[in-house]
Amino acid sequence: MTSGDHLFARLLKRSDTPSTERPEPATVQPAGLHLHLNHHGQLLHMTGSLRHLLAQQLAADQPLPLHDFVLPHSTLVLEGLPDDWQGQMLDLDFPGLGEQSLHLRGWVQPSSEGWLLQLIDVGDLLLERHQARSREECQAMAAQISEHLRACSLARLPVIVDEQLQTIAQRWHMPCIALALLDDEAQGWQIHRQFAAHDAPALWHNQQALGSLLDSLNGTAPQHLSGNQPGIHHPGINQPIANQPLFDQQPRLQALFGHADGFAVPYSDDRGVAAWLLCGFYSALEKAPELGDRDWLLLLSALAGPLLSRLREQQHHLQLERMELLQALLGTGWWEVFGADEIHLAPSLASVLQLDDTRLSLDAWLRQIHPADREELRSRMHALQQHDEPLSVCVRLHRGDAQLNPPHLDKQQQPIWYRLQGQAIGSGDSRRLVGFMLDISDMKNQQQHTAAAHARLDNLIASSPAVIYVQRYVEGALIPTFFSASLGPLLGWNLEDCAAAALIERVHPEDRDRYFERTRHLLREGSVRARYRLRDCRGDYHWLLDEAKLLRDDLGLPVEAVGLWLDVTEATLAAEQVRQSEERYRILVEDSPAMICRYRPDLTLSFGNRPLATYMEVEPAQLPGVNLGSWMSDEQRAAFLQRLSLLTPELPVSTAEISLQLPGREHAWWVWSDRGVFDEHGRLLEIQAVGRDNTEVRRSQQQLTQSAKMATLGEMATGLAHEINQPLNVMRMAIVNVLKRLDNGDVQVDYLSDKLKRIDAQVQRAARVVDHMRVFGRRSEIEQQPFNPLDAIEGTLSLLAEGLRGKGVELRVGENTFTARVRGHVDQLEQVLINLLVNARDALLSKREADRGFKPWISLTAERDAQLVRLWVEDNAGGIDARLLERIFEPFFTTKPIGVGTGLGLSVSYGIVENMGGRLSVANSLEGARFCIELPVVAEG
């Protein structure tokens, strides 16, 4: 046995010497095992050299059945008696020493004692057959693994590797198995793929870094891990030093296998050990004794060989793709000179240069270069060829031939610059001239742009209205060392006029403290921005904006200050004028008795003056953020927003009276004027408003309206008394008739029921008159509401119709069937109609006194169109004197005799209609006067 075989045997836990430590018989024994049986199959005695290897020996003079000596599965062969076994080949397994089994084969033959069973050892033959089948199975699996790995796509390669690891693990019942590959980027070993049974601990995970653990394993037994003699290494625990496995000699590797049994199989190729198959919680000698070193190496070679080949092929393709992409992005590529007159270009470079062939003569290649750079390149290429001088030169492509210039660069009409570098590699026959071309057009063109920009900057500094200066730091002071040429046009000075002492003398006396503080702040903080006045050569002062920055060296010490002066005289004077104007505006706004404010289109205040704040009983600072709409009802707010929506840049002003519900106070009325502020697109940005309190005037108007209403009720007293007396008379007559019937004893239920219903109807009629008088006489609501004007006509007729008819006045009422809504107070519109009907009645009755044959009539009609509702009140009293028509609506003007009427009816009616957004007018018709009430229709919804 060689030394290498000795180490393999030790690592596989195999003994160095054959297991032949058996007792040597004193005398020569028959080969095999001879069992003497009686006719009943009982063992009488045994002979032969193999009898000492049996675990159970036969006691003297105690025959026992042969079944007691064989393993249970062999009893099936021994069914019946020895006579039945004759002529058959018997395979029997006997328990041996050390928990081993003896595999024997034999036959029976008659003997003097009964039967003789002769057996020989066939264990080696069975083991060889089992190993041969295992080796064939291992080879078939290896071929299948290799075929799967070579035939699958790169995308499915990890899945196929997992499947093959699972196949190996399930075939040999391995809890954990992993394939470790060398990671070139991380410079160490890494778990490529692994498989663990569902009930096994997780020893590894995919992409787990192992570092250099397996490298130390390589160095332990170099004679078995180099060349074509790789070894298999088995870690074990609690072994004697002489037979201690390899991983116990490498304590750092024990953690890799969870400090349990395991083994590692290396795979070597032309690069050395390139892969390891790791099997954890597994003893190969116990679980798979039929597999040898070559079987494990065969399995790993079938798995690692194709996998590494595919991975290296994939990596090579990726590198080529990255290289081609990098060359395309950089516009670069390699070149190589062959012989003295031929150059070979990279395909990507030839494509960029739009050349049809990658091989061309050196002269043809030089013709691609701009003539201004061609000879220099030719000279340097000659020096490279002859003297191995490295080549490094920047050249331009020749643009004369359109085929040499990419189309996108032709449009820009800019030079195409390339950097060429090359050198000689090797010597003698292996000497090569190689290099690359790199597109540096952007860099070169940027350099040209930068140079042009510097020139423009120099010209800009010289002609700029700002003065750029540099002050050098000397022992705590800043000494002027440079001023741009714009100093002369601005102040009429030069550098000599701006010495430190002379400069301070030209600073305005009131600003010298500010100038000294500017210098201290610059030295302390590193930058400054100040404003002061300097006197020019004519004695005039200029406001200068001084911005400077202090530059320091590597130690943080001041070196110089760089800054500029900008003449801001006009801006400063304008700002002062604006400040003064704002001050005057503030005084005007704050001292104004009117309420002035600004608010956004959503009615949120952004400013309010003191009178507005005083009215609201808050401080002016509390007004911004308050919403005007919170002081209005929903109807008022909707009307207010509707009015604002009608503002335009052409008609930006709107005036209206608004009603507000102030918290904790009564209703207030303001006369409000808005002016919209618009942007250049005509969008409303802000509203500026001025208002005055109109509450007292509004309340006076309300009181006047209420007084006129009560006066109207007084004037209507006679008619209302008649309106109530008539139902009373009807009820009295009905009661008298009923009493007479009762006195006569003529009581009929139908007659009584009819009389009682008539009395009830008259009671309801009187109640309606009284109830309407109560509603009409109370004070109107604060806010206007939409209502149907026909309701006001119906209410008016309920109060006056019977009275007018009682006085002999014919009332002509039109058939008003339309539906419309106007905004206002229904009781106030009734008041207007009552005033007009009562005035017409008085005029008609006066005329009838003069002419008893006169037949008076009053007409009350209504009509509507899309915008207006019109109510007409007309009579035949002869009309109004044309000289009085213009004064008819003046307060206290009346044509009635002294003591009759107040002269407020038509004036109040005019105000009521106007407050509803309508118009009250009068004109003479053919027979009398005709009044018209026009009210705007409120949109539905």
pLDDT at 132: 78
pLDDT at 851: 85
pLDDT at 10: 39
pLDDT at 407: 42
Average pLDDT, the chain: 78
**What letter would DSSP give residue 139?**
H
Residues forming beta bridges with residue 531, ordered by sequence position: 545
Look at residue 459 and tell me whether its pLDDT is greater than 90: no
Span 814-871, pLDDT tens digits = 877 788 889 888 878 888 888 888 888 888 988 888 888 899 999 999 998 888 999 9
DSSP 705-723: HHHHHHHHHHHTHHHHHHH
Q: Please tell me which residue, 714 or 143, carries the higher pLDDT value.
A: 143
pLDDT at 160: 92
Mean pLDDT confidence for 35-55: 80
Name the residue ranges covered by the structural domains of the chain: 33-121, 144-317, 331-448, 464-574, 592-693, 701-936
pLDDT at 703: 63
CATH number, domain 144-317, options 3.30.450.40, 3.60.110.10, 2.115.10.20, 1.20.950.20? 3.30.450.40
Q: How confident is the model at residue 530 (pLDDT cuts 50, 70, 90)?
A: very high
Domains 144-317 and 331-448 belong to one CATH topology: yes
Amino acid letter, residue 725: N
Span 814-829, pLDDT tens digits = 877 788 889 888 878 8
Q: Count the Cβ atoms, other than its own, within 10 Å of residue 693.
A: 16
CATH number of the 33-121 domain: 3.30.450
673 within 8 A of 690, measured Cβ to Cβ: yes
Look at residue 701 and tell me whether its pLDDT is greater than 50: yes
Mean pLDDT confidence for 905-919: 83
Q: How confident is the model at residue 401 (pLDDT cuts 50, 70, 90)?
A: very low
DSSP 416-468: -EEEEEEEEES-GGG-EEEEEEEE-HHHHHHHHHHHHHHHHHHHHHHH-SSEE
Q: Considering only 180-189, 632-641, 683-692, 702-711, which range has the smallest mean pLDDT? A: 702-711
Percent of the chain scoring above 70 in pLDDT: 79
Look at residue 398 and tell me whether its pLDDT is greater than 80: yes
pLDDT at 159: 92
pLDDT at 776: 52
Angle between helices 717-744 and 749-777 (to 10 degrees): 160
Mean pLDDT confidence for 529-553: 91
Q: Considering only 110-119, 619-628, 747-756, which range has the smallest mean pLDDT? A: 747-756
Q: Please tell me which residue, 877 or 57, carries the higher pLDDT value.
A: 877
936 within 8 A of 917, measured Cβ to Cβ: yes
Look at residue 142 and tell me whether its pLDDT is greater than 50: yes
Burial of residue 291, with CB atoms counted within 10 A of its CB: 0-12 exposed, 13-18 middle, 19 or more buried: buried
Q: Considering only 6-20, 56-70, 423-437, which range has the smallest mean pLDDT? A: 6-20
Q: What phi-psi label fits residue 9: left (phi over 0), alpha (psi between -120 and 50 degrees) or beta?
A: alpha
Residues forming beta bridges with residue 305, ordered by sequence position: none
Burial of residue 187, with CB atoms counted within 10 A of its CB: 0-12 exposed, 13-18 middle, 19 or more buried: exposed
SS3 state at 349 = helix
pLDDT at 930: 92
Residue owning tokens 């109107």: 780
Q: Considering only 4-8, 519-523, 646-650, which range has the smallest mean pLDDT? A: 4-8
Span 89-139, pLDDT tens digits = 888 888 877 777 778 888 888 888 888 888 887 777 777 777 778 788 888
Span 573-605, pLDDT tens digits = 888 887 777 677 676 676 677 888 889 999 899
pLDDT at 347: 83
Strands ordered across the beta sheet of 477-483: 477-483, 467-474, 558-567, 541-552, 527-535
Mean pLDDT confidence for 740-760: 73
Q: How confident is the model at residue 462 (pLDDT cuts 50, 70, 90)?
A: low
Q: Considering only 87-101, 452-466, 711-725, 791-805, which range has the smallest mean pLDDT? A: 711-725
Span 259-293, pLDDT tens digits = 778 888 888 888 888 899 999 888 877 778 778 78
What is the three-state SS of 729-776? HHHHHHHHHHHHHHHHCCCCHHHHHHHHHHHHHHHHHHHHHHHHHHHH
Rg over alpha carbons for the chain, rounded to the nearest Å, is: 62
pLDDT at 706: 59
Q: Please tell me which residue, 356 or 857, carries the higher pLDDT value.
A: 857
Question: Cα–Cα distance between 238 and 887 in angstroms, integer?
Answer: 132
User: What CATH superfamily classification does 592-693 receive?
Assistant: PAS domain (3.30.450.20)
Percent of the chain scoring above 90 in pLDDT: 12
**Range 701-936: architecture per CATH:** 2-Layer Sandwich (3.30)
Task: Specify the fold of 331-448.
Answer: Beta-Lactamase (3.30.450)
User: What CATH superfamily classification does 464-574 receive?
Assistant: PAS domain (3.30.450.20)
Q: Considering only 21-30, 109-118, 162-171, 625-634, which range has the smallest mean pLDDT? A: 21-30
Structure pTM?
0.38
Q: Count the Cβ atoms, other than its own, within 10 Å of residue 899.
A: 5
